[in-house]
Amino acid sequence: MEREDGLAQGRKLVAGARRVAVLTGAGISAESGLATFRDSGGLWENHRVEDVATPQAFARDPVLVWEFYNARRRAGAQARPNPGHLALAALEQRKESVVIITQNVDGLHQKAGSTRVVELHGNIWRARCARCGRAAADLPVEVPFLSYCASCPGLLRPDIVWFGEALAPRDLEAAAAALQDCGLFMVVGTSAQVQPAASFAFAAVGRGVGVIEVNKEETPLSSLVSVSLRGEAGEVLPALLFV
Ligand code: APR
């Protein structure tokens, strides 16, 4: 589909929807300077998931895990919302509801002004006790090795959903409700490979609502959605949502 045709078709779907749900992935934060996972040069090219993003990894070597997350916290502290985040936040002014279901942990949707954000995979700015679960407060950008819970002898861990861990039921329920309630589902900057996050996009296709994908490359979703727009989110989203 020609880009202009796709944009025209996408704009029609946007105009006709009152309630919008958006699944976002690392690609929407790439233009804010944050590494994605599976692009060339991505995080999983330089780290093994089993070394830095599983409960076993943390039990085995908590310092290595914190080195990985502190590097992402340092990068995140410099990151600002880009026009893609801002376009989604501004869409709230024109729709009955816009729910962002994000796989990202960088907090940039909230910084951009989005008020309904479901963080499926946690948030890199939060930490909690690995033993009692108590949330830690007032942490510096670089969490000192090794930091302990204020209430028990437990170690602090990033408040991130690691591989092999379950997503929070309240987040899954909120995402499912947004999926059921929306008249338009958008998918932005995700390779659509990680479950259960990607299942929301496939379920939207199954529901028969309009589904618009914005992604730099083709994904398993691209041939299934109503409109698949190839390009950078920071450039495509403003053209799609505000023309
Ligand atoms: N604009 C739009 N899309 C982009 C951009 C951009 N500027 N830059 C990259 N992309 C696309 C890539 O082509 C890729 O398809 O974004 C997608 C990013 O895919 P991944 O790196 O796999 O990131 P994501 O889909 O968010 O990963 C899902 O995997 O490792 C876990 O928990 C981690 O939340 C993460 C999950």
Say yes or no to pLDDT of 85 above 90.
yes
Q: From 112, 138, 237, select the one nearest 187 (Cα to Cα).
A: 237
Count of beta carbons in the 10 Å neighbourhood of residue 170:
9
Residue whose CA lies nearest to ligand 1 atom number 14 = 191
Say yes or no to pLDDT of 153 above 90.
yes
Contact 222/193 with Cβ under 8 angstroms?
A: no
pLDDT tens-digit series, residues 24-40: 999 999 999 999 999 99
Q: From 196, 106, 205, 209, select the one nearest 160 (Cα to Cα).
A: 106
Residue whose CA lies nearest to ligand 1 atom number 17 = 190
User: Measured in angstroms, how far is the CA atom of residue 148 from the centroid of ligand 1?
Assistant: 32
Q: Ligand 1: list residues with CB < 6 Å.
A: 25-27, 30-31, 36-39, 42, 103, 121, 189-191, 193-194, 215-217, 219, 232-233
As a 3-state breakdown, the chain gives helix, strand, coil percent values, each rounded to 5, of: 40, 20, 40
From first CA to last CA, the distance across the chain in angstroms is: 19
- Domains in the chain: boundaries: 1-34+81-121+167-243, 36-78+126-160
Residue whose CA lies nearest to ligand 1 atom number 4 = 27
CATH of domain 1-34+81-121+167-243: 3.40.50.1220
Residue whose CA lies nearest to ligand 1 atom number 1 = 232
Which fold is adopted by the domain 36-78+126-160?
SIR2/SIRT2 'Small Domain' (3.30.1600)
pLDDT tens-digit series, residues 155-193: 999 999 999 999 999 999 999 999 999 999 999 999 999
The answer to whether 1-34+81-121+167-243 and 36-78+126-160 have equal CATH topology is no
Known catalytic residue: 109?
A: no
Q: How many residues does the chain have?
A: 243
Q: What average pLDDT does the segment 208-217 reach?
A: 98
Q: From 154, 218, 164, 222, select the one nearest 195 (Cα to Cα).
A: 164
- Atom from ligand 1 closest to the CA of residue 216: 3
User: Could you tell me the sign of the dihedral formed by the alpha carbons of 173, 171, 34, 88, in that order?
Assistant: positive
pTM of the model: 0.98
Strand partners, 93: none
Give the distance between the most distant pair of CA atoms in the chain: 59
Q: From 22, 56, 17, select the one nearest 175 (Cα to Cα).
A: 22
Catalytic pick among 47, 85, 109, 121: 121
Say yes or no to pLDDT of 243 above 80.
no
